[in-house]
Structure 1
């Protein structure tokens, strides 16, 4: 090995490599381009990740609008208010926000829509700037009662600035539209439009209080030198005891960076797939090239050249291929980054919540080029090992069998194991910023091994079947086309890998998108709730039901809601459990802090399955100190460490009372259904007096019926919110379509790489095909027969590769559909789109045959005698 490295850096090796490559230089350059798109993908995605992370770090405070945010789902109690007062005394600036979801109507003709309404004080945000149209709308908001809405929402309501907006019993003029909204920490704002008014105006409305689920937030700008993280850590017990939520500008930016890194990991794995596929192409190119140059190697050995020195010549050629491909990949990636910058500059203002300066990152460029070069050399080593086995005697005879001896070379297994280890380490390095990066790397390496193994095995089976199944009585064209699949120097293996892997990736994406569409299709919800009415006061329940009976909307369920919080678990206060302890299993904090909205009923629903214990539907004459027998969702009970018979204590929000609850049964809940599902279900008669509001589930036959019903409810009960699930699903579908388009674009890197490998494979075997065509034409075959023979060969290759890739994609997507998306309790299953599969498969096969025929043009045009003479001289 040391001697090979020594000779590799000698002038003689590079001069010989350049001279030896003269007759096939164009072919080697074509094969080196097979790694271009993999390197380009890594450069593009890596540079964008760096640009986004740098933008997030530099604008971290503007993403939150403050140094610290403290939130609550109920008015702040005295201990929290005292803390806020001390912060102000210490020099902190403070702003308040109240937000909730409500129905809002613009103008007199439009139907009301659910929005996230925010009441904000003028000082917020402390970092960043709110942009509106007209520009002075934000200033007017705090001097004149009014409201500002999103531009897209205003257009969808066919309204304009100056129209009247009505929510509850309040009417306000629309002062402008938001071009860049104030920072929001509400997750619901992603699925509903945002409307902003002043805090004073919102507090004067009649919606704040018991009729709406209100979120309270305090924003703080801390004095210089005070670390928000230290403030939060110092008040950790107070925050836990008061059940407050908090986030800092640093944590907000870290969360965004984490999301960016997750997306980067996914896309970089696609880029690595393209690189590994390009490596297969490099291996095929070197295999063909070395086989053609064995006589030249033998001649060098006769002239006294050592095996290591001859090996260094072809290793230098491989190194040159890697350098050329990596440089072209870097140039392509930089061009794509520049194109991305141009696209981002033309996006509507405010679409991205922070400014991003897009430019290629030099460290990413160097890393990507190095990865491309290393993959080229790694995959080139396998076929290059044959050079070490060439003896001088091969110069006097044909060396067709020398290649086979390399299969027994122990270095072959060393190189293969090194490739697997390198794949794992490279993937682990790319995913090192993610949780469970090692598992991701291990899974991806396993995916590569399985994919390449299955495709290689399919190629072996195709060659074996072609050799065994051909019959003398079959037509000449068919027999010759089948024979081409197993003849010496056949291209079956590399065809199967290059085409099959590309088909597998693209078909998997298409089928996965189809799964999501099936489960988000509004038509699938024909007999399921697609309209929910929340915040329905118990005294108004009959009126809402009467409005339903007067419309085409059908009520499917009614759940009275009681709001509870955990205070003790098996006798241990929750405040003690929030602090981690080595002596007990940690309980997720979201469970300990959350507010459980539970209900009571007599029976199980269709989306629930009783796993253990006894279902108690109703209780009568329960003693005041007795524990209420309730049913817990299985996973929640497991997270809390509860078993049948265990007891917890829960406080009833808004009533100042507590109840003891006993785990009477455990249920499995199908959360994927759109029904009214709950973590904890109480028996009827146990907590009936503590109902805060009702949630009604209904089904609307169409959008017109939904609009008509929402209009009626809004006119008579403006504080009742209705959630149109079909509208939310439409929004989700549009997001998924955009994401799917982005993923398909990234997957095209792999497809283009496979196409280059395919084209280069066809062209690299052109000389052998010319010789074979000359022999067949000497035996009497016509040009038309030669064309049909090639068509049969490419049709069989394309069919087998496409079929294998489609089967792999079908298995992967079916597992995903049945294990993740199947509604077992409702007897539904994932429907495979056979028509789409058949149409896309046929298109792939036709494209492969067409490409193969175009690249094989002219094979049968050269005179057979000229070819045979050149072969004889050779």
Structure 2
């Protein structure tokens, strides 16, 4: 009976199955890719780091650090820093990361170059490896030269990849690799330069790296150095991409939920139409179990077949993820296929389809044989206890599945709560609209408009499920666009003369006046000239910093090892506000030194207004008192500082400057950079317009990935819509035929259906966008703490687009009625 009935209803059942297939495909593809990603990180952890472990420091190594490194005998070393380089061939300049390597690094993995031999020969020939994208950008080829500070080197080859880097990480400052022996000759490492020293080690398999890490870490930390093993690297990468996989899993799970809701609604209508047939079966002697099993077998079959097809599609889809994420990954992901996700897909399809169909299926249990004579809309209602038990089972299953996906009970509970709230809001809006229309029914409207509104609360209506499906899918993709706007607002750069878009770093004191004159000669403004003095904390509230470093009870000790780049000025910036104390702008000779510190520094060092901090300023101890605490917006692309001194204190201290100016176009920027790099090779220049473009490109790539997952939800919602509309097709056909019989014209029937679907599509997509607007507003206010100006794309594109899609699908239902006579349609449907 199950097989025969399924054959007779194959169109409807195939649409049910499509909902399951899409959801399972999304879950399986992401699960399989996440598993492959973690396995690859573990297998390639040494290749990612290029060594077994590395010791690094952001200052010239102390005597103690040198002793530790020398005792371990490093196999390779590196000094890296960010600087400007020039191409003599065409005068091009660019901010790059210069990496001076010595030794046979990497020990694992390879330096990918073109030609291949350049990865080895550059050390002997004294050449440079230049980022491949950079060479294309400036039309440079191997054999041309590159100027790094005072040194001009031949280009041995283009650098495609080096262990530990990604396309995203090298976007702002592409890597340039040169032999370490040329670093000193470049004369780029001057006072205040930001540099990093690395020492690479290769050890035997028998060496216990975890024990070595445990012994060396505290010793190196005391010297402001650190150790990083390939084991820690793999753990850190695993944690980073685990969060990405969690998000993608939730997006896939929502797509699956939408499919399950579609099944529940469609099965509800499907079973309702079968009640008379079930009553007849019971009159012929069929038991409750038999009538229940007939339809249970059908739904279980749909779940198993849909789960299998979805799992197979998911296996194919996960091959696409490495293409989407390659710019974010420091290695190539090797895809392998396991049986576990396929089995999971089949079981998930079975459990989800049966569980969400259980409530309408139970209705078959309570059909009375007598109802063959009096089937009505209120017949065969299951008891309230049974209904509540089914709802509780669904929530428990969803919670357990979420825990399995997220590995965190609280996150799972939060996700289920938010999902229930979202579904409840959408369903509540739909119910309120129906009740509102019923209560305030526009009796004076025309016949077609009134009839279309009546269809919204007629028997077997699909208003609630369609609005939920359309609204949730629309909400997901709209939230993406709104969130992207918030992120872009944090890095917004106005192209006006009032906003700096060029930052000139590492300007030495003797160069300051000449560089300012150079900028003014090009008719560009000097928007700011910021002096910077390097210092370290020596004592906090009469306690030596060296003693505080040993205190394991302190939660955040990073600032204790920090070399501060501080400044002095007499005014606040637009990125900071005093939240406690009083701002002091200037001090006279011999007055106590009062400083202002950032809120995060105060929290980390556990100090407040009136506490004292002794700084070591280039070997001179300086006692200061905290006069004010500032809240700093670190997201703004401008120099911000943890410690700010008033004027009249640091003017005679060793210092360098950062100069801010503004250019109107790319040509002016290139001209200024070319001129300054030629005369002052030690300075670094950051063009914020290029940084903004890179950030926007990164966000676009992230958006594309999230859009891809939102596509599953939207597509699932469309499948649910088609299935729901097709399910009620037969009743609508009879209604339309009856309307034609009593004199309604094709135009009127078309208008009735069009108004109904137009209302459903408009309400569902509008509520979804408004829900996304509300959630994004909360995100902006509580998380990003940023003003929120919503994008118009969801209102201008999604709202009309989804509404028209719903309208198009709905109108395909009545083609049969419009093209045939009423008697022909009734005979065919009968």
Structure 2-normalised TM-score? Answer: 0.95
**Separation of aligned partners in 2, 1:367 and 1:571:** 61
Q: Are the aligned partners of 1:207 and 1:719 in contact in 2 as well (CA < 8 Å)?
A: yes
Give CA deviations for 1:389-429 in whole Å, capped at 9, x if unaligned.
Answer: 322321232242125x33x5212112212322322222221
> Quick one: which of 30, 34, 37 aligns to 2:15?
30
> Quick one: which of 575, 599, 602 aligns to 2:570?
602
Corresponding residue of 1:419: 394
Structure 1 position 475, deviation (Å): 1.5
Corresponding residue of 1:697: 660
Structure 1 position 822, deviation (Å): 5.8
Aligned pairs for 1:692-731 within 5 A: 692-731=655-694
Corresponding residue of 1:642: 607
Pair 1:123 & 2:104 matched = yes
Check 1:188–1:752 CA distance in 2 against 1; reply closer, same or farther (3 A cut): closer
Which region of structure 1 is more displaced relative to structure 2, 683-692 or 29-38? 683-692
Corresponding residue of 2:767: 804
Q: Are the aligned partners of 1:32 and 1:321 in contact in 2 as well (CA < 8 Å)?
A: yes
Give CA deviations for 1:736-764 in whole Å, capped at 9, x if unaligned.
Answer: 21221121112111111111101111111
Pair 1:157 & 2:138 matched = yes
**Separation of aligned partners in 2, 1:110 and 1:39:** 55
Structure 1 position 836, deviation (Å): 5.6
- Secondary structure (helix, strand or coil) at the match of 2:444 reads coil
Corresponding residue of 1:7: none
**Separation of aligned partners in 1, 2:496 and 2:634:** 15
Check 1:594–1:442 CA distance in 2 against 1; reply closer, same or farther (3 A cut): farther
Corresponding residue of 2:699: 736
**Separation of aligned partners in 1, 2:737 and 2:144:** 82
Pair 1:438 & 2:409 matched = yes
Q: Are the aligned partners of 1:29 and 1:324 in contact in 2 as well (CA < 8 Å)?
A: no
Give CA deviations for 1:558-610 in whole Å, capped at 9, x if unaligned.
Answer: 221122223333333334444564xx5x3323322222211111222222211
Pair 1:485 & 2:462 matched = no
> Quick one: which of 531, 534, 537 aligns to 1:560?
531
Q: Are the aligned partners of 1:578 and 1:587 in contact in 2 as well (CA < 8 Å)?
A: no
Q: Are the aligned partners of 2:28 and 2:342 in contact in 1 as well (CA < 8 Å)?
A: yes
- Secondary structure (helix, strand or coil) at the match of 1:36 reads helix
Q: Are the aligned partners of 2:308 and 2:342 in contact in 1 as well (CA < 8 Å)?
A: no
Structure 1 position 867, deviation (Å): 5.9
> Quick one: which of 15, 18, 34 aligns to 2:3?
18
- Secondary structure (helix, strand or coil) at the match of 1:233 reads helix
Corresponding residue of 1:844: 802
Structure 1 position 80, deviation (Å): 1.6
Q: Are the aligned partners of 2:769 and 2:794 in contact in 1 as well (CA < 8 Å)?
A: no
**Separation of aligned partners in 2, 1:184 and 1:679:** 29
Structure 1 position 831, deviation (Å): 2.6
Aligned pairs for 1:238-257 within 5 A: 238-257=219-238
> Quick one: which of 261, 274, 289 aligns to 2:242?
261
Q: Are the aligned partners of 1:553 and 1:701 in contact in 2 as well (CA < 8 Å)?
A: no
Corresponding residue of 1:104: 85
**Separation of aligned partners in 2, 1:702 and 1:786:** 60
Q: Are the aligned partners of 1:520 and 1:733 in contact in 2 as well (CA < 8 Å)?
A: no
Structure 1 position 719, deviation (Å): 0.5
> Quick one: which of 467, 470, 475 aligns to 1:499?
470
**Separation of aligned partners in 1, 2:371 and 2:495:** 70
Pair 1:321 & 2:298 matched = no
Check 1:315–1:767 CA distance in 2 against 1; reply closer, same or farther (3 A cut): same
Structure 1 position 188, deviation (Å): 6.3
Corresponding residue of 1:748: 711
Corresponding residue of 1:217: 198
Pair 1:630 & 2:607 matched = no
Give CA deviations for 1:432-460 in whole Å, capped at 9, x if unaligned.
Answer: 1xxxx334323321221122111111221
**Separation of aligned partners in 2, 1:188 and 1:863:** 67
**Separation of aligned partners in 2, 1:703 and 1:619:** 42
Corresponding residue of 1:82: 67
Corresponding residue of 2:217: 236
Pair 1:814 & 2:774 matched = no
Pair 1:332 & 2:313 matched = yes
Q: Are the aligned partners of 2:52 and 2:230 in contact in 1 as well (CA < 8 Å)?
A: yes
- Secondary structure (helix, strand or coil) at the match of 1:688 reads coil
Gaps of 5+ in 1: 1-15, 824-828
Pair 1:369 & 2:355 matched = no
Aligned pairs for 1:456-471 within 5 A: 456-471=427-442
Pair 1:620 & 2:588 matched = yes
- Secondary structure (helix, strand or coil) at the match of 1:565 reads strand
**Separation of aligned partners in 2, 1:770 and 1:512:** 43
- Secondary structure (helix, strand or coil) at the match of 2:652 reads helix
Structure 1 position 59, deviation (Å): 1.4
Check 1:47–1:715 CA distance in 2 against 1; reply closer, same or farther (3 A cut): same
**Separation of aligned partners in 2, 1:528 and 1:200:** 41
Check 1:186–1:295 CA distance in 2 against 1; reply closer, same or farther (3 A cut): closer
**Separation of aligned partners in 1, 2:317 and 2:673:** 47
Structure 1 position 148, deviation (Å): 1.0
Q: Are the aligned partners of 2:85 and 2:148 in contact in 1 as well (CA < 8 Å)?
A: yes
Q: Are the aligned partners of 2:150 and 2:185 in contact in 1 as well (CA < 8 Å)?
A: no
Q: Are the aligned partners of 1:161 and 1:177 in contact in 2 as well (CA < 8 Å)?
A: yes
Which region of structure 1 is more displaced relative to structure 2, 17-26 or 849-858? 17-26
**Separation of aligned partners in 2, 1:746 and 1:401:** 40
Check 1:385–1:569 CA distance in 2 against 1; reply closer, same or farther (3 A cut): farther
Corresponding residue of 1:386: 363
Corresponding residue of 2:627: 664
Q: Are the aligned partners of 2:150 and 2:681 in contact in 1 as well (CA < 8 Å)?
A: yes
Aligned-pair RMSD on alpha carbons?
2.5
Q: Are the aligned partners of 2:765 and 2:798 in contact in 1 as well (CA < 8 Å)?
A: no
Corresponding residue of 1:6: none
**Separation of aligned partners in 1, 2:601 and 2:395:** 41
Check 1:401–1:658 CA distance in 2 against 1; reply closer, same or farther (3 A cut): same
Give CA deviations for 1:239-281 in whole Å, capped at 9, x if unaligned.
Answer: 1210102211111111222222111111111100100000101
> Quick one: which of 279, 285, 297 aligns to 2:260?
279
Give CA deviations for 1:66-115 in whole Å, capped at 9, x if unaligned.
Answer: 11111112221222222222223xxxx42110111111011342331100
Pair 1:773 & 2:773 matched = no
- Secondary structure (helix, strand or coil) at the match of 1:781 reads coil
Gaps of 5+ in 2: none
> Quick one: which of 427, 447, 454 aligns to 2:425?
454
> Quick one: which of 157, 179, 196 aligns to 1:198?
179
Q: Are the aligned partners of 1:798 and 1:845 in contact in 2 as well (CA < 8 Å)?
A: yes
- Secondary structure (helix, strand or coil) at the match of 1:319 reads helix
**Separation of aligned partners in 1, 2:474 and 2:820:** 35
Structure 1-normalised TM-score? Answer: 0.90
- Secondary structure (helix, strand or coil) at the match of 1:719 reads coil
Structure 1 position 499, deviation (Å): 1.1
Structure 1 position 673, deviation (Å): 2.5
Structure 1 position 526, deviation (Å): 5.6
Structure 1 position 649, deviation (Å): 2.9
**Separation of aligned partners in 2, 1:501 and 1:137:** 54
Corresponding residue of 2:756: 793
Structure 1 position 219, deviation (Å): 0.8
**Separation of aligned partners in 1, 2:48 and 2:777:** 40
